[in-house]
Chains A and B, each alone.
Chain A
Amino acid sequence: MAKEVDRRTMLKSLTISALGLGSVVAFGDLIQVFALPDGQKVALARAVILADMSRCSGCRICEMVCANLNSMGRNSTSLARVFIDKDYLKGDYQPKLCYQCADPPCLNGCPVDALQVDKKSGTYARVVNEKICIGCQSCVEACQSYFTPSRATFDAERQKAIKCHLCFGDPQCVKLCPLGVLRVERSKKGLLVGYPAISGD
């Protein structure tokens, strides 16, 4: 049932999220929907991919699995919905994944409601409905005002936005990551992650 997030809960989630992505908050039976001050409501995601960057080998298999599977065989990290930021000299590798935000800027920014909540698979992931997407890239811009790189990107060949849809419940990047960097956090109650609890990388 929809209920508004009160100020105390918000503050609590902000504090916890400051500890990093590992501390995802799953709420009791109170919240399944994140409500905005203006009253608009979005069901919370029930799954999200988390990363333990300390063991990332930088092999980029996650990106390639994603592109190969989700972009119909067009293999390129540019078409991936996961991102590995690498500083080779410092040996600093950062897997960056879509937070499936509680209050998703991409979804809010979409002018045609192409960004939808995937209820069918049960993940409640924020997904692009390609039939509706007009390729305006508003979602890309919306995301990148908080996150770098933007977790929604643009497939120039097909003129459509693309973003992580959790492989409809069974994320293949998680399965194929050889170092066990990625894992899926699930909660039937909904996960308060991403924006606004986390707003920036």
Chain B
Amino acid sequence: MTPKGGWVGKILRVDLTTSKITESSTFDYVPRFLGGRGLGAKICWDEVPPEVSAFDPENRLVFATGPLQGTLAPSSGRFMVLGKAPQSGPTESFCRSGVGGHFAPELKWAGYDALVVRGKADKPVYLFISDHKAEILDAAALWGLDTYQAQQVLWKLHGPKTRVMVIGRAGENRSRIACILTDTGDASGQGGFGGVMGSKNLKAIAVRGTGAVTVARPKALMQTTRHIHSLFARKPAKSNPYEPEVKGFKYNIWGGGYGRGGLSLLPGELQDLCNDSSSGYSQTPDGCFACPVSCRSRVKGPDITGGVAFCAQSYMYLESMIDQPEKGYSKITWQAAKLGDLLGINAYDLMAIIPWLADCFHEKLISEKDTGLSLGEIGSWNFISKLLNQIADRQGFGDLLAEGGQRAAAKLGGKAEKLSWMYYPRAGQFGGYREHWVYLGGFPTGYALPPLALMWVLDNRDALVSHSFISMLWGAAFTVGQNALTAVPEKISPVLRPVMKAAYGSEEAAEFLQPDGKSLNWKWAAPIVKRYHEHSLLKDSYVLCDILFPYLFNANSPNHVGDDTLESRLYSDVTGVEMSPKESFQKGEMLCTLERALAVRDGRTRQDDSFHDLYFEKQDAGGRKYKREDLEESKTEYYKLMGWDSETGKPTLATLQRLGLKDVAEEMARRGFSRS
């Protein structure tokens, strides 16, 4: 029976080689694969075999929304971009990247749950989608424009309500770290899918929809929405939009310690200007579609590029703060990040490339002359503007860096490559991503935590999609009067006990250390990471935002226990399809196994689930180490819990069949990957 709400029923398929545009039914895939990440995984399993490389015209660029997009469901502005990713490396593999903002609901209202692009146009084109119709249009006039300029042209042509996903020059030139941007700062960064768009000669996807998404139980959705609003946000105080009207209430993101988003974390020139009402600069909380939190700010001023600011995207060039400490977060810091957005380069990889270049320069492995970069003045506008333009145009040394930091380092080899391991922790064939451990200062400057290590080795991109997991740790730190940088695991465990019992089934899961405090407790790593993956797959398939979901930690209640059933309640309200917690986790497990099958088919082995030696050699701030044998044991346990082969980490045929993935099982057997 077709569900009563949620999905709009059609997938739009565009072949840029033949200019053929067709539609297929979403219900060929859902409710089984839900949407977003699950739907994209299945499409890629069916259509993107390992033989297809990222820039091969046969690669698919999948834009997948889920059942919740285009509805009132809180944080449902997101969707997933999927396909064979050029950034994952050295092996290109199936990967995913989430995007916020306002594009996803527009695609649904235009009548499509997803868009699948294949082929390659013989000249630059863009796609215009409106109310059950799509056209491939000439983009000669758009090619070479920055991401803002291109959107302005498209708004002029198709109206300001049109939402656009667009690449900059980095994407046009097939950089492996090119993003796809929408509006002023929301982007699909991970995976380098901007380069895939460029390889297809596809400059932009513009969409405008006036249809509607049917919600099966509108009153229930109102109720759940109000409940979620009340958990995460309050109306702001009259005097300050960043402070809650209700004194003492904590905005329930980042563990409740940082309030609504903005430049508030990094004081300096720009924030001072924004606080001075006569300056002409300002910052205001800015919301993604249907989100009550507003974890971003939009910043404007007379001589800066305006737009939204969020985390890495605005914190990309912190070197400028060291260069000009008296200015702190300055206009240069901001403009550098915005130049990255205009050229369409993923800020997160730049946050590895820049310090790595500094290390290499320091060790005299590269010179200003060889690179054409003013490496002696990292932190300056001169350095960053040259660097970003070089990368976007693949000019000189920039041609190498456009391949991403990890590939560039591997090409240079020797010591330069070794230096890069500080920033790119994952060893093997499925690395390519900058470390993003955040917890208590990261590792090794901060503290080692077994579940984080296991999450990282198992992924092929930034594993911390679940910001809410980190928020839980931070929240516990704030509760005991410490913060993200100062908290120590011993102190936060007591706070986490009831929280982790609710989320992971045992109070003991909060004990990250052995009782003597001298070594790490790996006992709970595997079960925690299994549930973490199930949560993540659900959240990315419904599709909801990882700043809010899963809701693990309540900063405003005495025991801080969260509620990981909220996502599934929204799903049931919208679609009318029941989803018990147990069923939802089984669904998450199935989707996680499907992704593992994709990875294995792309060549992943147990050896790829690992770190560079550095991560076993260094001690953390508490004098403890990750031990290789502990990690290996934990991997084995995780594979077992997932029903994968405990030696190889490959899903077994029996497990694939048990999960209803018969066609996957058959192909795995045919390719000789899985034993029964």
Contact = CB atoms under 8 A, between A and B. Distances in A.
B287 A59 contact: yes
Interface string B253-296: 00000000000000000000000000000001111111111100
Contacts of A19: none
Residues of B contacting A: mostly: loop
Given A179-B294, A180-B245, A67 B212 contact: yes
Interface string B221-238: 110011001000101101
A93 to B, nearest CB: 8
Interface in A71-89: 71-79, 86-89
B286 A68 contact: no
A177 interface: yes
B344 interface: no
B24 interface: no
B494 interface: no
Contacts of A37: none
A73 to B, nearest CB: 4
Contact of A58 (B148, B213, B287, B299): B287
A91 B215 contact: no
Interface in B130-164: 148, 151-152, 160
Interface residues on B, range: 35 or more
A197 B19 CA distance: 54
Contacts of B217: 73
B212 A74 contact: yes
A68 B299 CA distance: 31
A178 B235 contact: yes
Contact of B225 (A55, A176, A180): A176
A90 interface: yes
A179 B287 CA distance: 10
Nearest to A155: B212
Interface in B294-323: 294, 298-300, 306-307
Given A60-B289, A178-B229, A75 B235 contact: no
Interface of B: 5, 70-72, 102, 105, 109, 148, 151-152, 160, 183-184, 209-218, 221-222, 225-226, 229, 233, 235-236, 238, 241, 245, 284-294, 298-300, 306-307
Interface of A: 54-61, 64-65, 67-69, 71-79, 86-91, 157, 172, 176-180
20 contacts: A55-B285, A57-B294, A58-B286, A59-B289, A59-B290, A60-B287, A61-B291, A68-B72, A68-B222, A73-B215, A74-B213, A75-B212, A75-B215, A76-B211, A176-B225, A176-B292, A178-B229, A178-B291, A179-B287, A179-B294
Given A57-B287, A77-B109, A89-B152, 6 more contacts: A59-B291, A68-B218, A68-B222, A88-B184, A89-B148, A91-B184
